[in-house]
């Protein structure tokens, strides 16, 4: 059992955690089945800090759906709620890579024993299927477009491109480029205008299309920064590619599935005939242990 202290400003509660990832998109998973734990944004930032904390792109708290006020209406469909926080402490609606890791934990812990079940998220209930090869498929629902009619423009790496706005349900700006290196180092967030298209911020995906059913991408996620992978981003990209293929081939070239290569690995996005996006990929637990939460952190902004 790994022990870790995060109590620079005095000891707080000790909690158990697991560390894992989906195609390199990593999370600290905290089982809190009875809903006893309240995480402040500052505590989330402390845990996710890659130098002074455990380090992660976000936190996934596992709690019984019936005990979460914002989610209890989903308790009849899903026993467990994925309380997802970005590394900056902000709340997140949905995360495809995180959902796979969350579902993988539920199976390993024996909290779910069937090959098919559902999990509750801020983006709604999501159906889960455990594939024979161990990969996990998440029904990510359907994609929609932002209400704002203006086409967003993305600036990064000294370049500017038109982007496709997609909600899955997280907001995404998909940019088709000739070379993934054109986006620069992505240490700072790309500039997306007009801001009214994405008033709550946006994930930006830079995409190279190799074929209608095969793409590569890099991503800068709101509240996190550049990550090794993004599940909802992969779905947004697959949807945008399918829309473009349908236009280019007059409706005859829409792929049934798209392979999406990311720095952290590869996922497959299947495009169902009814518009649903099915994200399939691996999930891995790499460590487990305990940490003592900081009782006090820097003030929340």
Q: Is 280 a known active-site residue?
A: no
- Write the DSSP assignment of 222-290 as a string of letters: TTTEEES--HHHHHHHHHHHHHHHHHHTTTS---SEEEEEETTEEEEEEE-TTSEEEEEE--EEEEEEE
For 27, residues 6+ apart whose C-beta sits below 8 A from its C-beta are: 19, 20, 21, 56, 57, 58, 59, 60, 97, 98, 101
Between the alpha carbon of residue 193 and those of residues 202, 206, 275, the distances in Å are 11, 16, 28
For 194, residues 6+ apart whose C-beta sits below 8 A from its C-beta are: 148, 150, 152
The label of the residue with tokens 């891995």 reads 284
Pick the closest to residue 268 from 281, 253, 254 (CA basis).
281
**What does residue 219 show for φ and ψ, rounded to 5 degrees?**
-145, 145
Identify the active-site residue in 48, 95, 291, 297.
95
Contact yes or no for 126/139 (Cβ under 8 A): yes
Q: Is 291 a known active-site residue?
A: no
Rg value, the chain, Cα:
19
Identify the active-site residue in 48, 125, 230, 291.
230
Catalytic residues: 95, 230
């Amino acid at each position: 059992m790994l022990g870790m202290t995060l109590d620079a400003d005095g000891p707080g509660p000790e909690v158990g955690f697991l560390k894992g990832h989906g195609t390199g998109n990593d999370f600290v998973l905290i089982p809190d089945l009875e809903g006893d734990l309240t995480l402040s944004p500052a505590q989330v930032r402390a845990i996710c800090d890659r130098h002074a904390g455990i380090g992660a792109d976000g936190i996934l708290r596992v709690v019984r759906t019936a005990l979460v006020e914002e989610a209890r209406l989903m308790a009849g469909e899903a026993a467990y709620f994925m309380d997802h926080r970005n590394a900056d402490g902000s709340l997140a609606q949905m995360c495809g890579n995180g959902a796979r890791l969350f579902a993988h934990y539920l199976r390993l812990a024996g909290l779910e024993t069937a090959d098919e079940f559902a999990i509750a998220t801020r983006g709604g209930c999501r159906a889960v299927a455990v594939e024979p090869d161990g990969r996990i498929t998440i029904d990510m629902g359907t994609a929609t477009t932002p209400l704002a009619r203006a086409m967003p423009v993305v600036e990064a790496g000294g370049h500017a491109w038109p982007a496709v706005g997609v909600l899955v349900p997280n907001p995404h700006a998909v940019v088709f480029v000739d070379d993934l290196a054109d986006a620069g180092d992505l240490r700072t967030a790309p500039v997306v205008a007009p801001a009214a298209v994405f008033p709550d911020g946006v994930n930006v995906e830079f995409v190279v299309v190799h074929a209608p059913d095969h793409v590569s991408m890099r991503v800068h996620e709101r509240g996190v920064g550049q990550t090794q992978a993004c599940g909802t981003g992969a779905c947004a990209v697959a949807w945008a590619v399918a829309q473009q293929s349908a236009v280019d081939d007059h409706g005859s070239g829409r792929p049934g599935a798209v392979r999406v290569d990311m720095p952290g690995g590869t996922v497959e996005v299947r495009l169902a005939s009814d518009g649903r996006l099915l994200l399939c990929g691996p999930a891995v637990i790499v460590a487990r242990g305990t940490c003592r939460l900081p009782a006090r952190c820097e003030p929340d902004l």
